Structure 1
Amino acid sequence: MLEILFQDEHLIAVNKPAGMLVHRSWLDRHETVFVMQTLRDQIGQHVFTVHRLDKPTSGVLLLALSSEVARLLSQQFELHQMNKVYHAVVRGYVMEDGTVDYALTEEQDKIADKFATQDKPAQPAVSHYRVLARKEMPVAIGKYETARYSLVELTPETGRKHQLRRHMTHLRHPIIGDTAHGDLKQNRGMAQHFDCPGLMLHASHMQLDHPISGEPLTITAPWDSRWQQLVTRFDWLGCASELERVEFPEQAGQDS
């Protein structure tokens, strides 16, 4: 059963578990469980995707209950009229809040994008980050005797593929569990020492105007048990309240 965060006659939002695909993909042909099919069976009606979250990313996933609402929601995404806030655990101490304004070239899949244009110019990409907590743990990972981590709040202003992961790596603070852009030693260390495998990136909040009523709507996805045990171990429990009092910027984008 998927955790339903919001539902009315027009749209539905769920807390997507980490490791679950949104829909069937030939790139993950061995997977048999998907959000769309699971949710369809759970509520007894068809659902329509309007944005995506990558398989390892957890958090708010919004779906429409009709093709017309899907079109209206997709327009909001395309025009960057939806605000999304993520939380992430990254390597090292992030010392201050800031903004990454760093253009990104399009990431392409070797098979799916075999015939796509290979020399596209880099596209503008902007992400904002805010430091919530830091922690140094007495475990040796790599060449250091201790391991340092930061809990950060991330707000993408644009929606490039893997934007938040790539921007945090650009800052030399890769997101823990990122196998494509991160620190493999730190990923293994987090799993080995803290029993916390997987990507530590969670889509915590989404703010939008309801596509039919026009009323403002804010949807929040609580951290799952993996996140809860880590913030407890790192003495970050007080940071959980950030999920309730997040302040949205005037404009933000999407990431996956």
Structure 2
Amino acid sequence: MLEIVYQDEYFVAVNKPAGMLVHRSWLDKHETQFVMQTLRDQIGQHVFPLHRLDRPTSGVLIFALSSEVASQVMPMFANHEMQKTYHAIVRGWIEEGGTLDYALKVELDKIADKFASEEKQAQEAVTDYLPLAKVEIPISTGRFPTTRYCLMELSPQTGRKHQLRRHMAHLRHPIVGDTTHGDGKHNKLFREHFDSHRLLLHASSLSFVHPFTQQNITIKAGVDETWNALCSEFGWQMPN
């Protein structure tokens, strides 16, 4: 059962678990569980995705309840009228917030995009970031006897593929658990010492003006047991 965090006559939103694909893909033929099919069976009607979350990312994922609603609302996502807030645990300490304006080249998939041109221009990508809490743990991953980590709030202003993961890696503060853009030593530390086997990136909230009722809507999704255990271990409080 998926946790439904919002539902009205137009939309339904769930708290997507980490590791679950949004919909069936020929790239993952062996997978049997998908958010779309699970949610459709759970509520007994078809759902239409309005945006995507990477497979390893958890958090708010919203669907339209009809194709007509989906076609009307999709431009809101395309024009970034939906405000998304994420939380992440990253390597190192970031002392103050800022905005990273760093264009990203299109990431091509080795299989799906094998005939695509590599010559695409880099696309504008902007992320606001804010450190919320930090910790220093007595475990070495290199030349120092301790290792530092930071709890971050991230707000993407654009929607590029793997934008938050790539932007944090560009700042030399990769997200823990990122096997593509991250640091293997830190991923291993979290697996072995904290039983954390996931990307520590969570879509905490989604805010927008409801296109049919004109109400301000904020949909929130809580973190999972892995996150809660880490926050307890580090003495961190997740924002409400």
Indicate the TM-score class for this superposition, using the shorter chain for normalisation. over 0.9
Q: Which position in structure 2 is the counterpart of 1:80?
A: 80
Shift of 1:184: 0.8
**1:114-133 pair list within 5 angstroms:** 114-133=114-133
Q: Which position in structure 2 is the counterpart of 1:97?
A: 97
Structure 2: distance between partners of 1:96 and 1:71: 40
Query: What secondary structure, in the 3-state scheme, does the structure 1 residue paired with 2:166 have?
Result: helix
Runs of 5+ consecutive residues of structure 2 not aligned to the other structure: none
Query: What secondary structure, in the 3-state scheme, does the structure 2 residue paired with 1:36 have?
Result: helix
Structure 2: distance between partners of 1:73 and 1:192: 43
Shift of 1:73: 2.0
Q: Which position in structure 1 is the counterpart of 2:71?
A: 71
Moved more, 111-120 or 18-27: 111-120
Shift of 1:214: 2.0
TM-score (norm 1): 0.92
**1:170-249 pair list within 5 angstroms:** 170-237=170-237, 240=238, 242-243=239-240
Q: Which position in structure 1 is the counterpart of 2:50?
A: 50
* 8 Å CA contact 1:175, 1:199 repeated in 2: yes
Structure 2: distance between partners of 1:80 and 1:93: 29
Shift of 1:46: 0.6
Letter in 2 for 1:68: E
Structure 2: distance between partners of 1:208 and 1:72: 14
TM-score (norm 2): 0.98
Q: CA RMSD in A?
A: 0.9
- Count of residue pairs the alignment pairs up: 240
Query: What secondary structure, in the 3-state scheme, does the structure 2 residue paired with 1:168 have?
Result: helix
Shift of 1:207: 0.4
Query: What secondary structure, in the 3-state scheme, does the structure 2 residue paired with 1:180 have?
Result: coil
Structure 2: distance between partners of 1:155 and 1:163: 11
Q: Which position in structure 2 is the counterpart of 1:165?
A: 165
Q: Which position in structure 2 is the counterpart of 1:110?
A: 110
Which structure is richer in relative contact order (CA contacts within 8 A, separation 6 or more)?
Answer: 1
Q: Which position in structure 2 is the counterpart of 1:16?
A: 16
Structure 1: distance between partners of 2:77 and 2:202: 18
* 8 Å CA contact 1:69, 1:211 repeated in 2: no
Letter in 1 for 2:175: I
Q: Which position in structure 2 is the counterpart of 1:143?
A: 143
Q: Which position in structure 2 is the counterpart of 1:37?
A: 37
* 8 Å CA contact 1:58, 1:202 repeated in 2: yes
Q: Which position in structure 2 is the counterpart of 1:7?
A: 7
Identity among equivalent positions (%) equals: 60
Shift of 1:142: 3.3
